[in-house]
């Protein structure tokens, strides 16, 4: 063996040391990112079709590219699963950009002559797939792919590494040591993936905290490297910006970057070089025409002040006309014509259909208790209110009860009054009034889990208490997987979503009605303990069979498709629920009992909740019912062709009652 001289050995050691030091000083290379461009693409154990499929991914799903071999990419999914996928089914991400316009239109093609496909907001991070004439083709969760004018973006410093595995350090106990709080942004995120991981830090290398689902909305605590920090059930964690739609605070600061083009929404303005018109929507600070509530039991207050008296409470999905805005508050007109203020922290701009007329409150029960004291129940658009005439908010209390559907009210003062009855139109199935020592007791059983709101007393010693639906779990729903399908909204060849039926007078789109009811139903089911998956959140490229396949692939417990009906005869009205289990199809016929039971329960409770004509349950060979391998139904809530029901379907309170009826039917199906 040739001997190495000591001097040369010393130089080699020095060279190795220097090279090692240089390698340590190099930044960690980010993982390449890609976006799936094929529908239901197999991810396999190895680089070839001879390898078994591990799972499937869908068009628009983001992933990380680890290596290449022949015509295959080795990839890592957001769930952490690794496998191989054909490279012609993946678009590589060229870079990441951050939106600098306050509210910017994205389009179906590279130019303002193309249709608007949606909007993005200040600070939102987008993955660039292609570039043409100063426009970027970007991947956006929930919209898939669209184009944005490049002059409304800046390169994101995190580049392609925003989701790479080098986001921070962990402590010795396995928890995050110091992931970094990121820049505080405010605003909210809406989840655009069916199931999304929430992690302890801003990257996929951090441990899992929990999982959340499609269309959930959460307040943003911080933002870092394309990830958003949120709070879920008192747990803080981070979600990837690739799977959320970010909405900034109501009054975000205007962009101040030098050379930023005007994005105040003035039509026909030009970019700085005059080469193309600006492409931004309404600018920061503008008051929206309407807002939608994003939380449950949100106070509407007399003034723009958290300490102001409460006018009413609103629930997630309620929408109101905006009259004014100031200091992070919106002044809104309620459905009963009252006016109040709601914090922008619990409301977001809304462009859907608003109630077209006010809801008239009706007294549906009057029970005299003592001289000058009367207990009343008010029907406030299908929601119960308790009216206590002669009591202040200090002279009543609710007694704890083990039954989740029972509420017991104690009223101060002697009484000899006894009464028994029910008020089914507002969901009270049994009511008892009786004396108990120095109290008058009111027991109420509901067909939902009630949650009393804050009582408000006026100068005449009259106290009004709203009653909402509680978020407590129901044993019959816990652990159940339910797929909800808002009917229509399939993207057509021209790029527009199928509207379904149109209201005869209002021209309201059925797809918007269906989605509004479905979102309310989703919230109730999740509060009851169920896991809920939506087939889409506004529009979809899935076929009808593809919608059914979501339930089949998940082996869901049930599949429910929500629709509004239409007939050329305006007099036809009412509720109908469909199922399909013919003897000619053995696989479906084997589920006949479950499908018929589900349809019957939902139809019964929907009629009970809303009170329209009971058209019964019917069988029909609808594609979503024919293609589902799990118990499934299609609900026709009411008729857009009927003048009365068209107006009702425009009302948020009626949509709420429909959702409550369907919810009660589903709960009954699993309970019996």
Domain boundaries, the chain: 32-92, 290-349, 362-469, 481-671
From 317, 397, 380, select the one nearest 353 (Cα to Cα).
317
pLDDT at 618 over 60: yes
Average pLDDT, integer, range 586-602: 95
490 Cβ contact list (under 8 Å, min separation 6)? 497, 498, 539, 540, 541, 542, 543, 544
CATH of domain 32-92: 2.30.30.40
Question: So what's the pLDDT on residue 80?
Answer: 66
Is residue 333 within a helix (H) or strand (E), and if so which, with residue range?
strand 329-333
pLDDT at 388 over 80: yes
Q: 290-349: same fold as 32-92? A: yes
Can you point out the beta strands (E) in 116-159? 116-121, 125-132, 135-140, 144-149, 153-155
pLDDT at 121 over 50: yes
With contact defined as beta carbons under 8 Å apart, do 222 and 238 qualify?
no
Tally of CB atoms within 10 A around 207: 13
CATH architecture assigned to 481-671: 3-Layer(aba) Sandwich (3.40)
pLDDT in tens, 402-414: 887 899 999 999 9
Residue 336 — very low, low, confident or very high, per pLDDT cuts 50/70/90? Answer: low
From 253, 355, 273, 338, select the one nearest 302 (Cα to Cα).
338
With contact defined as beta carbons under 8 Å apart, do 320 and 312 qualify?
no
**Averaged confidence pLDDT in the chain:** 78
Question: So what's the pLDDT on residue 286?
Answer: 65
Question: So what's the pLDDT on residue 40?
Answer: 72
Q: From the centroid of its chain, how far is CA 543?
A: 22
Question: So what's the pLDDT on residue 413?
Answer: 93
Q: How many CA atoms lie within 13 A of 477 on its CB side?
A: 22
Is residue 290 within a helix (H) or strand (E), and if so which, with residue range?
strand 290-293
Which is more confident, 96 or 525? Answer: 525
Distance CA 547, CA 624 (A): 7
pLDDT at 328 over 70: yes
Question: So what's the pLDDT on residue 663?
Answer: 93
Residue 379 — very low, low, confident or very high, per pLDDT cuts 50/70/90? Answer: confident
Question: So what's the pLDDT on residue 189?
Answer: 81
Average pLDDT, integer, range 536-554: 91
pLDDT at 471 over 60: no
Question: So what's the pLDDT on residue 117?
Answer: 77
Distance CA 294, CA 317 (A): 6
Residue 252 — very low, low, confident or very high, per pLDDT cuts 50/70/90? Answer: very low
Tally of CB atoms within 10 A around 146: 22
With contact defined as beta carbons under 8 Å apart, do 646 and 504 qualify?
yes
Q: Which CATH number fits domain 362-469: 1.10.600.10, 2.60.40.3470, 3.90.470.10, 1.10.1040.10?
A: 2.60.40.3470
Class of the CATH-defined domain 290-349: mainly beta
With contact defined as beta carbons under 8 Å apart, do 659 and 486 qualify?
no
Average pLDDT, integer, range 391-417: 90
pLDDT at 631 over 80: yes
Residue 672 — very low, low, confident or very high, per pLDDT cuts 50/70/90? Answer: confident
pLDDT at 489 over 80: yes
Which is more confident, 589 or 231? Answer: 589
pLDDT at 20 over 60: no
Q: How many CA atoms lie within 13 A of 552 on its CB side?
A: 14
Question: So what's the pLDDT on residue 242?
Answer: 72
pLDDT at 656 over 50: yes
Residue 354 — very low, low, confident or very high, per pLDDT cuts 50/70/90? Answer: low
Tell me which of 12-26, 137-151, 483-497, 600-614 is least confident. 12-26
Question: So what's the pLDDT on residue 107?
Answer: 85
Tell me which of 13-17, 91-95, 549-553, 586-590 is least confident. 13-17
3-state class percentages of the chain: helix first, strand second, coil last, to nearest 5 = 20, 40, 45
From 223, 98, 102, select the one nearest 154 (Cα to Cα).
98
φ/ψ of 298, rounded to 5, equals: -85, 130
Nearest 5 degrees, angle CA 576-CA 578-CA 581?
155
| CB burial readout 519-528, b (16+ within 10 A) else e | bbbbbbbbbb
């Amino acid at each position: 063996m040739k001997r190495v001289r000591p001097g040369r050995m010393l130089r080699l050691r020095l060279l190795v040391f220097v090279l090692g030091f240089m390698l340590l000083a190099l930044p960690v290379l980010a993982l390449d990112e890609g976006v799936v461009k094929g529908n239901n693409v197999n991810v396999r154990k190895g680089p070839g079709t001879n390898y078994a499929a591990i799972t499937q991914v869908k068009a628009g799903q983001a992933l990380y590219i680890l290596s290449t071999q022949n015509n295959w990419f080795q990839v890592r999914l957001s769930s952490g699963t690794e496998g191989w996928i054909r490279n012609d089914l993946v678009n590589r991400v060229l870079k990441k950009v951050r939106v600098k316009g306050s509210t910017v239109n994205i389009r179906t093609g590279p130019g303002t002559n193309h249709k608007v496909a949606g909007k993005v907001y200040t600070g939102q991070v987008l993955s660039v797939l292609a570039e043409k004439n100063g426009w970027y083709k970007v991947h956006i969760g929930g919209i898939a792919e669209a184009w944005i004018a490049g002059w409304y973006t800046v390169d994101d410093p995190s580049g392609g590494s925003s989701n790479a595995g080098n986001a921070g350090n962990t402590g010795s106990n396995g928890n995050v040591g110091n992931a970094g709080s990121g820049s505080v942004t405010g605003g909210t995120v809406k989840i655009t993936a069916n199931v999304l991981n929430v992690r302890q830090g801003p990257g996929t290398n951090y441990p899992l905290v929990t999982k959340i689902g499609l269309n959930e909305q959460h307040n943003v605590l911080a933002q870092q490297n394309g990830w958003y920090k949120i709070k879920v059930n008192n747990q803080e964690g981070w979600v990837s910006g690739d799977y959320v739609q970010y909405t900034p605070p109501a009054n975000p600061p205007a962009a101040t970057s030098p050379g930023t083009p005007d994005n105040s929404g003035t039509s026909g303005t030009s970019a700085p070089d005059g080469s193309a018109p600006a492409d931004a929507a309404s600018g920061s600070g503008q008051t929206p025409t309407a807002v939608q509530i994003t939380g449950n039991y949100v106070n509407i207050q007399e003034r723009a002040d958290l300490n102001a008296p409460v006018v009413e409470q609103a629930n997630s999905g309620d929408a109101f006309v905006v009259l004014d805005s100031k200091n992070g508050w919106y002044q809104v007109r309620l459905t009963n014509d009252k006016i109040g203020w709601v914090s922008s922290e619990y409301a977001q701009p809304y462009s859907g259909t608003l109630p077209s007329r006010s809801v008239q409150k009706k007294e549906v029960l009057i029970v005299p208790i003592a001289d000058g004291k009367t207990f009343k129940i008010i029907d406030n658009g299908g929601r119960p209110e308790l009216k206590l005439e002669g009591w202040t908010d200090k002279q009543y209390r609710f007694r704890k009860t083990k039954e989740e559907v029972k509420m017991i009210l104690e009223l101060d003062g002697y009484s000899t009054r006894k009464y028994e009855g029910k008020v089914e139109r507002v969901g009270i199935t049994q009511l008892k009034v009786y004396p108990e020592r120095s109290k008058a007791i009111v027991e109420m059983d509901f067909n939902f889990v009630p949650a009393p709101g804050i009582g408000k007393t006026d100068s005449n010693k009259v106290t009004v208490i709203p009653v909402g639906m509680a978020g407590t779990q129901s044993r019959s729903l816990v652990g159940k997987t339910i797929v909800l399908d808002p009917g229509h909204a399939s993207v057509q060849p021209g790029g527009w979503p199928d509207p379904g039926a149109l209201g005869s007078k209002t021209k309201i789109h059925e797809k918007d009605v269906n989605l509004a009811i479905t979102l309310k139903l989703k919230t109730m089911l999740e509060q009851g303990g169920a896991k809920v998956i939506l087939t889409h959140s506004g529009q979809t490229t899935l076929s009808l069979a593809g919608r059914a396949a979501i339930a089949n692939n998940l082996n869901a417990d049930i599949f429910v498709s929500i629709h509004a009906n239409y007939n050329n005869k305006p007099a036809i009205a009412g509720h109908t629920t469909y199922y399909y289990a013919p003897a000619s199809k053995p696989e479906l016929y084997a589920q006949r009992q479950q499908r018929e039971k589900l349809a019957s329960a939902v139809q019964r409770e929907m009629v009970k909740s809303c009170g329209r004509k009971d058209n019964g349950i019917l069988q029909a060979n609808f594609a979503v019912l024919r293609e589902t391998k799990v118990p499934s139904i299609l609900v026709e809530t009411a008729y857009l062709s009927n003048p009365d029901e068209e107006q009702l379907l425009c009302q948020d309170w009626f949509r709420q009652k429909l959702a409550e009826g369907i919810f009660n039917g589903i709960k009954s199906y699993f309970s019996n």
